[in-house]
Amino acid sequence: MRKFTLFVVAVVALTALQNARGELITYVDAVPNGNTVAAGGGSFYTSAWNNADGLWWYNDLSYYFNETGLEADSPDKNVPVLATTISGLTAGASYDVYGYYIYAYRTSAPSYDYDIQLGLSESSLTDYGTNGSGGIGMQLEGIDPATHFTNVSAIPSIHNYEVSLGTAVADAGGEIKVYVNESLTGSGCNDLRSCYDGVGYSLVPEPSTLILLTTGLIGLLCYAWKRRK
């Protein structure tokens, strides 16, 4: 019975330590005129496809992925920069922030390249994709949602790619903003587009929390070892 109790306590401690490390991500879908607006204000999207109107298109991303999101096609140069607000956070707390986009690349005809720009500052966006300095990111296909996201029922399509945007501190209102822009860096491709789906975040634990949990776990293991001798 004593061994079983120690085993249960150890499992609980390990679970708490894992959760405190902030490994699980909460996904937030981009909703036009909800949590997502034009960073500079004004109109920024349409639900009727027009690849020459200078606006984002809110519909099924890339036609065949059956994933609703915001898309900018290659003729749509200078579409508005988007700002997605993550709310309900703890003011002053640090969070790891992630971006999600549909990525595809093919060099043979009809060639296409889906890159995107994302960042925590409107003036400092990183290009993600084949030709982007930020790389492609991690495809969600093959990832177990239960070990990666806190809200499994709301996760993005497996066709999404996840990129880490860095760490940000929630403002006094408990919010963090993520900025998005099209990227047309592909060269020699017939079809260039940027497909944006949403963002994600995970709490960065305070160092004292990690130290406390780690110390407690080490103490528990030492106690269990001593009892076995």
Do 74 and 1 share a domain, yes or no? no
Judgement on whether residues 154 and 123 belong to the same structural domain of the protein: yes
Over residues 37-58, mean pLDDT = 90
- 71 and 51 within one domain: yes
pLDDT of residue 184: 64
Q: Are residues 36 and 74 both part of a single domain?
A: yes
Query: Do 6 and 55 sit in the same domain of this protein?
Result: no
Which of the 8 DSSP states describes residue 206? P
Same-domain check for residues 30 and 143? yes
Name residue, tokens 């519909």: 59
What are the pLDDT digits (tens) for 117-168?
999 999 999 999 877 889 999 998 888 999 999 998 888 777 789 999 999 9
The CATH number of the domain holding residue 137 is 2.60.120
Question: Same structural domain for residues 118 and 148?
Answer: yes
Q: Are residues 1 and 48 in the same domain?
A: no
- Give whole-number Cα distances, 123 to 39, 40, 99, 225, in Å: 11, 12, 17, 55
Same domain, 217 and 145: no
**C-beta separation of 201 from 26 below 8 A:** yes
Query: What 3-state DSSP class applies to 226?
Result: helix
Mean pLDDT, the chain, rounded, equals 80
Task: Please give the Cα distance from 131 to 70 (Å, whole number).
Answer: 21
Q: Is residue 215 within 8 Å of 207, Cβ to Cβ?
A: no
Q: Is the domain of 75 the same as that of 181?
A: yes
Q: Please state the domain count of the chain.
A: 2
The pLDDT value given to residue 64? 47
Query: Does residue 91 sit in the same domain as residue 117?
Result: yes
pLDDT band at 183 (very low <50, low <70, confident <90, very high): confident
List alpha helices for 114-206, DSSP H.
none
- Going by pLDDT thresholds of 50, 70 and 90, the confidence category of residue 224 is low
The predicted structure's pLDDT at residue 179:
98
| Domain that includes residue 7, residue range | 1-21+207-229
Percent of the chain at pLDDT above 90? 44
CA-based angle 200:205:209, to the nearest 5? 160
pLDDT at 30 over 70: yes
- 210-223 pLDDT, tens digit per residue, is 444 455 556 555 55
Which of these ranges, 42-56, 80-94, 115-129, has the smallest mean pLDDT?
A: 42-56
Are 52 and 140 part of one and the same domain? Answer: yes
DSSP 8-state secondary structure symbol assigned to residue 3: H
pLDDT of residue 110: 73
Residue 115 has pLDDT above 70, yes or no: yes
